[in-house]
Amino acid sequence: MKIRIINNFVEEIVCLEQAANEIVGRASPDFVKKHEIQVGFEGSFGDRHVNPRSLKSIFLGNLVCCEGIVTKCSTVRPKVVKSVHYCPATKKTLEKKYRDLTSYDSFPSSNIYPKEVRGIGFIMIRMAL
């Protein structure tokens, strides 16, 4: 199991997070509906504990621990992960989750905000950070 997680991290993390969501969902269904369960790793990474200079392409798709000091950084832009839209006429809400290429679970979703939804009507978009 340990070797599979280290060598095929991108494939295995999806299964691990789904299993964690299922286990927590059995104990507390309301918690899973409101929060996204994510898995983290800590401890000794052995030869996979690298710095930016020793990070090589052989580690692609592998679990690594990369430590270093950031000396230069481009502009960091926030990304929308989830949006909630409200229709004042019907008083219904629509929740939409957005995924990009940095998401593990599936293909990227459409990044277009919905303006009208069949069965709900025109929806209002209110942005907040």
Pair 20, 39: CB distance under 8 Å: yes
First to last CA, the chain: 39
pLDDT above 90: residue 68: yes
Segment 91-120, tens digit of pLDDT = 877 778 777 776 766 666 676 777 776 666
List the one residue out of 111, 109, 102 whose CA is nearest residue 13. Answer: 102
| Domain spans in the chain, listed from the N-terminal domain onward | 2-66, 82-122
Q: Based on the number of CB atoms within 10 Å of its own CB, is 9 exposed (0-12), middle (13-18) or buried (19 or more)?
A: buried
Select the more confidently predicted residue: 24 or 87.
24
pLDDT at 38: 86
Largest CA distance in the chain: 59
pTM of the model: 0.62
Phi/psi for 33 (5° steps) reads -70, -35
